[in-house]
Amino acid sequence: MQRQKTIREAAGCSGTGLHTGKPVNIRILPADEDSGISFVRTDIPGRPVIKAASENVVDTRLATTIGRGSVTISTVEHLLAAFYGMGIDNAIVEVGSCEIPIMDGSAEPFVNLIREVGMRAQRKPKKFIIIKKPIKVRDGKKVAILLPARDFKITYSITFEHSFLSGQSFSKMYSDKIFINEICGAKTFGFLKEVEWLRSQGLAIGGSLENAIVIGDTSIINADLLRYPDEFVRHKVLDCIGDLSLLGAGVIGHIIADKSGHSLNQRLVRKVIESPSRWSYAEIPANGDDEEYLYSEVGISPSLCYAAS
């Protein structure tokens, strides 16, 4: 079976908040098994804790924001995707602001941070949600469906009404290798007109040509930052993984999403939670190859990792 994992030791990084444009420090700490991912606002008296869970999602307009009462933390999705992709089930994230830093607009800096300190396997089995019957949500032309499948598969398509971009699609069986090599480095993106409007509203102050690909009317303004020719759909896949992680378990199923975004992704997550007859929990045997690869990538052997638990 696969066991739950946490980060091996505390790790921290600093960056700019997308909304405020101000510096933000975060620190990731190991956490007990079955505790999941929790965020702590260290800048607020009493250090309020917000668990990364679907019921705590309070806003999905520009990013995924979780909250409890008046306390919120936004732009959690790239860090959550890094946790899911690296197989981290339990961690505490201390945040000194109302948002997770945008870093380079992708999840790669968080993946590298986890790789630097390594991971530790815990005793309890990792939980998976196995989709047994289709679960579907729709919002006009936007659709997101989870279908039964042998493993986790992602099929995602986006379309643009734009002069030189018509659409992009991505369909692959998910694996740790795919996440690390093909998904985690995809940067966030926006259209120049939207960026200008957001700025005029005092939003996305921390957005820059270093942390977002900006699509102009006739060309990509900072095309030199592109890591993949189909980077935009890959970033949507990254966002989707971060959003699905709010289920609090691995997913065994095929997600098919067309034009979906944070809002519809969260509706799908909520529908899964509200439809327990359509899925079941299970523990899955470890995939030896992937585990070997992942641990070699983080610089430790599986035996060392398990011995440390």
Least Å distance, CB 2 to Zn ion, is: 27
Closest CB to Zn ion among residues 188, 265? 188
Contact 20, 206 (CB under 8 A): yes
What minimum distance in Å lies between the beta carbon of 1 and Zn ion?
32
Q: Does 258 bind Zn ion (CB under 5 A)?
A: no
Nearest in space to 226 (alpha carbons), one of 104, 136, 64, 132: 104
We find the least distance from the C-beta atom of residue 239 to Zn ion, in angstroms, to be: 4
Q: What are residue 282's DSSP bridge partners?
A: 128
Q: Which stretch binds Zn ion (CB under 5 A): 82-90, 120-128, 239-247, 289-297?
A: 239-247
Distance CA 95, CA 79 (A): 12
Q: Which of residues 158-197 bind Zn ion (CB under 5 A)?
A: 188
Q: Which is nearer to Zn ion, 33 or 108 (CB)?
A: 108
| 243 part of the interface to Zn ion, by CB under 5 A | no
| Chosen residue from 104, 239, 243, 258 binding Zn ion by CB under 5 A | 239
Tell me which of 78, 235, 254, 262 is the catalytic residue.
262
**Parallel, antiparallel, or unpaired: how do β-strands 189-191 and 91-95 relate?**
unpaired
Stretch of residues binding Zn ion (CB under 5 A), selected from 157-165, 206-214, 237-245, 252-260 = 237-245
Residue nearest to Zn ion (CB): 239
Question: Cβ closer to Zn ion: 99 or 239?
Answer: 239
* Residue among 90 and 188 whose Cβ is closer to Zn ion: 188
The verdict on 211 binding Zn ion (CB under 5 A) reads: no
Minimum gap (Å) between residue 138 Cβ and Zn ion: 22
Instruction: Pick between residue 128 and residue 174 the one whose CB is nearest to Zn ion.
Output: 174
Pull the structure tokens for residue 186. Answer: 């995809």
Rounded to a whole number of angstroms, the minimum distance from the CB of residue 12 to Zn ion is 21
Q: Catalytic: 235?
A: no
> Which tokens hold the place of 264?
């519809």
Identify which of residues 75 and 97 has a Cβ nearer to Zn ion in the complex.
Answer: 75
Q: Minimum Å distance from CB 188 to Zn ion?
A: 4
What's the rounded Cα separation, in Å, for the pair 40 and 87? Answer: 21
Catalytic residue list: 262
Residues that bind Zn ion (CB under 5 A): 188, 239
